Amino acid sequence: MAGTTVPVVKDGQAYFQATLTSPPDSQAAKDTVDQLRTAVHAVPGADAKVGGNAAVLLDIGRAAAHDNRVIIPLVLVVVLVILGALLRAVIGPLVLIATVVLSYAAALGISAFAFEHFFHFEGQDQAFPLFVFVFLVALGIDYNIFLMTRVREEADHLGTRAGAVAGLAATGGVITSAGLILASTFAVLGTLPLVGFAEIGFAVALGVLLDTLVVRSVLVTALTMDLGRHLWWPSALSRRHHPDQAPADARPR
């Protein structure tokens, strides 16, 4: 710490400023804020507060981390319950939630790489992961519901593997069109002269494209075909054998 100003006393309260030698967004400055708070809070009856740029950044970061730990799991649990009620299954919703998380993680990772090496941004807003998560989960679950409800309808007559192909054929064009439109909409944010909005727009547009062209069209369909009727466990559909998924020893030779 470089030094402090002379305290200004008014109405029984004292105010003074301290100048840090470290940048306000550095870890050293945040550690200093924590040390100052520990010291002044230990003074009996002082009711002292430590503020400033470094303290604000520290508090925002901790609030954002707390929101991530609470909101992200809560949203996933709520979405899981909705999918379970809609599909009347357990395995299927778990698989779909896993694909949503995978799409979100891929979008964050690729975006961070692009921000650093292509756009040369200095960093991301501390609320950036949560904003991207909310947008991508909301959009991804819409596509999941649209695809899998049709797959389940087809699986009731054709079996899960054939139903997955039929469901993708019926909904693929709509999902792809919607994804391209949404990605274009969010990509417009990348033209704004505000780094925070540009980062969110790029990450969400990338995530929507990944979700539409790779996750929903390829990964979810492939997993559905691999798991077969087990995807619908424990519903009655999981115990129903169709010609395309009957046990090998029961198939006609």
Give the CATH number for residue 112. Answer: 1.20.1640
The answer as to whether 32 is a domain residue is yes
Check whether residue 82 and residue 175 sit in a common domain.
yes
User: In what helix (H) or strand (E) does residue 178 lie, and over which residues does it extend?
Assistant: helix 160-187
Tokens 């609470």 appear where?
Answer: 70
Check whether residue 36 and residue 69 sit in a common domain.
no
Model pLDDT, residue 236 = 82
The answer as to whether 58 is a domain residue is no
The answer as to whether 55 is a domain residue is no
CA distance 57 to 42: 23
The answer as to whether 138 is a domain residue is yes
The answer as to whether 60 is a domain residue is no
Check whether residue 22 and residue 77 sit in a common domain.
no
CA distance 107 to 120: 17
pTM of structure: 0.80
Please name the residues in contact with 69: beta carbons below 8 A apart, sequence gap of 6 or more. none
The answer as to whether 131 is a domain residue is yes
The domain containing residue 132 runs over which residues?
65-250
Dihedrals φ, ψ of 8, to 5°?
A: -105, 120
- The string of pLDDT tens digits covering residues 129-185 is 998 998 888 887 888 888 898 999 888 888 888 889 999 998 888 888 988 998 998
Q: Please give the tally of structural domains in the chain.
A: 2
CA distance 18 to 16: 7
Q: Walk along the chain (253 residues) in steps of 10 and give the mean pLDDT of each run.
A: 76 82 84 87 83 88 90 92 90 92 92 88 82 86 87 87 89 89 88 86 92 88 89 82 52 44
Model pLDDT, residue 244 = 56
CA distance 25 to 58: 8
How far is Cα of residue 152 from the mean position of the Cα atoms in its chain?
A: 26
Model pLDDT, residue 1 = 59
How far is Cα of residue 211 from the mean position of the Cα atoms in its chain?
A: 12
Check whether residue 129 and residue 196 sit in a common domain.
yes
Check whether residue 15 and residue 137 sit in a common domain.
no
Check whether residue 142 and residue 18 sit in a common domain.
no
